[in-house]
């Protein structure tokens, strides 16, 4: 049993390192896009000035429309008050939208968290990845993820809901069945371990074509 536990611990540790590396790559990619847009800012201004000099109002409107679409792909849409949460949520929102998944996010972290940024990264990253994976089984017009985060008294409340295909999900041995490959189970184990270590609470529920995970983590 000890040998099995050591092997499992190593697998979870490896998965955690790969997960964090993936998140940082996503964040870095997002900020590369932002830096690239800022670099082109002067050129955009020059084009608009040239169109203005010619009195080409339609050209200005068209160019501004193209810039608006471009900027929306890299805009930092979530500002929680926590830098790590902002980075993870915004990178995942950008990833979800690139896969034609609608995201409705309302997230606030008004206090300094007791939990580590690594633990926060693992929880949010895994929850978002699972929601994206499940959403891809649906046609684009039905894909939607809802994210809500805020303090409830002295506890951090995290809620993720995504639409699911095939109605209510089934449980096996008290655990919701998954069709994902190796690695997915480690993500769930990691979330549960973090919540348990923090003396928190986690609930997973599948009803009416939606899957919801709710987490409460004390911050005192």
CA distance 203 to 159: 10
Same-domain status, 20 and 102 = yes
Whether the per-residue pLDDT at 207 is higher than 60: the answer is yes
Same-domain status, 82 and 71 = no
Residue 114 domain flag: yes
Give the mean pLDDT of 144-153.
95
Q: What is the pLDDT of residue 154?
A: 92
Considering its fold, how many domains does the chain have in total? 2
Same-domain status, 177 and 133 = yes
CA distance 185 to 217: 21
Whether the per-residue pLDDT at 71 is higher than 90: the answer is no
What DSSP line would sit under the chain, residue for residue? Answer: -HHHHHHHHHHHHHHHHHHHHHHHHHHHHHHHHHHHHHHTHHHHHHHHHHHHHTT-HHHHHHHHHHHHHHHHTT------S-HHHHHHHHHHHHHHHHTT-EEEEEE---S--SS-HHHHHHHHHHHHHHHHHHHTTS-GGG-EEEEEEEEETTEEEEEEEEE-SSSSPPEETTEE-----TTHHHHHHHHHHHHHHTT-EEEEEEETTEEEEEEEEE--
Give the mean pLDDT of 8-26.
62
**Lowest pLDDT segment from 65-69, 70-74, 98-102:** 70-74
Same-domain status, 22 and 59 = no
Where residue 197 falls among pLDDT bands split at 50, 70, 90?
A: very high
Same-domain status, 45 and 21 = no
Residue 163 domain flag: yes
CA distance 220 to 18: 30
**Residue 48 structural domain:** 40-75
Same-domain status, 18 and 63 = no
Structure tokens at 39: 């670099």
Contact 102, 143 (CB under 8 A): yes
Same-domain status, 48 and 94 = no
Same-domain status, 18 and 124 = yes
Q: What is the pLDDT of residue 101?
A: 94
pTM, two decimals, is 0.66
Residue 140: Cβ within 10 Å count:
11
Whether the per-residue pLDDT at 169 is higher than 70: the answer is no
Whether the per-residue pLDDT at 176 is higher than 60: the answer is no
Residue 1 domain flag: no
Same-domain status, 148 and 168 = yes
Q: What is the mean pLDDT of the chain?
A: 80
Tokens 């010619």 belong to 54
Same-domain status, 131 and 106 = yes
């Amino acid at each position: 049993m000890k040998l099995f536990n050591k092997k499992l611990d190593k697998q979870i540790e490896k998965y955690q390192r790969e997960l964090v590396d993936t998140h940082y790559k996503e964040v870095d990619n997002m900020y590369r896009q932002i830096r690239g847009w800022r670099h082109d800012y002067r050129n955009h201004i020059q084009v608009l000035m040239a169109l203005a000099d010619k009195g080409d109002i339609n050209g200005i409107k068209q160019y501004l429309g193209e810039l608006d679409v471009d900027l929306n792909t890299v805009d930092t849409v979530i500002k929680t008050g926590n830098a790590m949460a902002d980075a993870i949520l915004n990178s995942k929102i950008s990833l979800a939208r690139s896969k034609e998944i609608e995201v409705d996010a309302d997230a606030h972290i008004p206090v300094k968290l007791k939990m580590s940024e690594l633990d926060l990264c693992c929880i949010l990253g895994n929850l978002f990845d699972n929601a994206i994976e499940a959403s891809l089984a649906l046609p684009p017009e039905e894909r939607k993820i809802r994210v809500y985060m805020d303090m409830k008294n002295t506890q951090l409340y995290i809620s993720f809901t995504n639409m699911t295909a095939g109605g209510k999900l089934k449980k096996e041995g008290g655990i919701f069945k998954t069709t994902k490959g190796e690695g997915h189970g480690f993500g769930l184990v990691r979330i549960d371990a973090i919540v348990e270590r923090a003396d928190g609470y986690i609930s997973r529920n599948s009803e009416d074509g939606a899957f919801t995970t709710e987490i409460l983590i004390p911050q005192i």
